[in-house]
Structure 1
Amino acid sequence: MPKQIQDSTDINYQQTIFVVDDEPDVRAALRLLIKSVGYSVECFASADEFFNQFEADRKGCLILDVRMPGMSGMDLQEKLAGMETLLPVIMISGHGEIPMAVKAVQNGAVDFLQKPFSDQELLDRISQALAINSKRHDDYDIKNNVQEKYNTLTPREREIFSEVVTGKLNKVIAYELNISTRTVEIHR
């Protein structure tokens, strides 16, 4: 059983579909389907194998089987949620039950598919998950950019900034901080 199924062309894609399933036939079929529409794909035989090679900054989505020997898909999903990863998770199961699907979604899964599912259904879910991942990365980048800029502010600028974001007028801020209106305008 191969440890990981991957083509050398995979590195040419920005987003990767990660497949974690203990059944070799399922991994091979999903790999072929996903590659056939031009996505990069990496397959793993266990949740532990994926977790040990996981890089939080990778873009894409995770297709995760619920029941596997060792660490279950639900356990892996909980670990990833605790790490606040940006990677959307699509849970798949041959034994799907409503409580299990609810728990998966509550833990952050973007979808839950019961086997067997149609190729198009999975591809549609992958497309949606990749859009979610792109938005999450964009939001994360914006947040980091804002934080970096905030970190460059002087203590006085931070003090004024915290008042500005509450919607206060320059005159009110100047009065409350016992500074001139002009100082507020300069630091604003």
Structure 2
Amino acid sequence: MTPATVTQTVFLVDDDPGALRSLSFLIQTDNLNVESYQSAQAFLDQFDMERSGCLVADVRMPEMSGLDLQRILRERGSQIPIIFLTAHGDLAACRRAFRDGAVDFLEKTQLDDQALLNLIRTSLERDLAARKASRGQHELLPMLQTLTDREREVMDRLVAGRTVKQIATEFDVSIQTIAKHRTKLLEKLKVENDIELVRMILGVAATK
């Protein structure tokens, strides 16, 4: 269930051309892909939610603010990590940004280049992990539907830490019978052992 290599992009949105050039240059020095937009609408017109990356956006922009952009993205179902930059310390805007899931809210006058790059790297990793988990959910459901009721019951108990012997005693059947159910369900779920089973089931459950 290992995903193919994903190309990630840092999307920059700022109505200040100078700020865009400066940020773009900084991020490219860290060998990251960058796309720049001078308005929130221009970004929305081009944005594809299937693309992995993170968004670095100015808070105050004409026509559509960074916070409005964040709201629209969330309404459309995008969970892209967002880092906000602002030239004006605004506590209300900061609260709203974090309430809606922003990664961070930074003042341009106190911006540290390396700290920003580290934050961008963390955001990219976060987006990649979220997409991997989402793929895991979509891949797992069809496989779970192939399990019989008994195989599902055995799986639930294995994930809960029960042994084959304990499960056999609970169902009043032979150990060999439960072992066969275990072998079959592992084959259907394409995992090699109980550890991989637990990692897959609990890993997906943690993202719901």
Do Structure 1 and Structure 2 share a fold, with TM-score over 0.5?
yes
- Out of 13, 21, 40, the position equivalent to 1:20 is 13
| 2:126 paired residue among 113, 128, 132 | 132
Provide the rounded CA distance (Å) in 2 between the counterparts of 1:115 and 1:83. Answer: 28
Residues 81 and 108 in structure 1, CA contact (< 8 A), matched pair in contact too: no
Normalising by structure 2, report the TM-score: 0.68
Shift of 1:121: 2.1
Corresponding residue of 1:68:
61
- Rounded Cα–Cα distance in structure 1 between residues aligned with 2:163 and 2:56: 50
Counterpart among 53, 66, 72 of residue 79 in structure 1: 72
AA matched with 1:92? L
1:9 corresponds in structure 2 to: none
Deviant stretches of 4+, over 3 Å: 151-170, 182-188
- State the shift of 1:152 in Å: 4.0
Give a deviation string over 1:21-64, Cα, whole Å, max 9, x none. Answer: 11111111111111111000000111111111111111111001
| Structure 1 residues 168 and 124: alpha-carbon distance in aligned structure 2, compared to 1, 3 A threshold | closer
CA distance in 1, matches of 2:125, 2:26: 19
- What secondary structure does 2:84 align onto? strand
Return the match for 1:118 from 97, 112, 123. 112
Provide the rounded CA distance (Å) in 1 between the counterparts of 2:147 and 2:62.
51
Identity score, percent:
38
Q: Secondary structure at the match of 2:41?
A: helix
**Where do 5+ consecutive residues of structure 1 fail to align?**
1-11, 174-181
Q: Which runs of 5+ in 2 are unaligned?
A: 168-175, 183-208
Provide the C-alpha distance between the structure 1 equivalents of 2:65 and 2:163, rounded to a whole number of angstroms: 55
1:184 CA displacement: 8.3
Looking at structure 1, the residues matched to 117 and 132 of structure 2 have their Cα atoms a distance apart, in angstroms, of 23
CA contact (8 A) 1:13 1:40 kept: no
Write the distance in 2 (CA, Å) between the matches of 1:112 and 1:21: 14
Task: Work out the number of aligned pairs and report it.
Answer: 176
Cα RMSD after superposing both structures: 2.9
Within 1, Cα distance between the matches of 2:45 and 2:177? 53
Instruction: Provide the rounded CA distance (Å) in 2 between the counterparts of 1:76 and 1:101.
Output: 14
8 Å contact 2:6–2:52 — kept in the other structure?
no
Counterpart of 2:51? 58
Shift of 1:144: 1.6
Residues 1:130 and 1:165: Cα distance change in structure 2 (over 3 Å): same
The correspondence for 1:49, drawn from 42, 49, 56, is 42
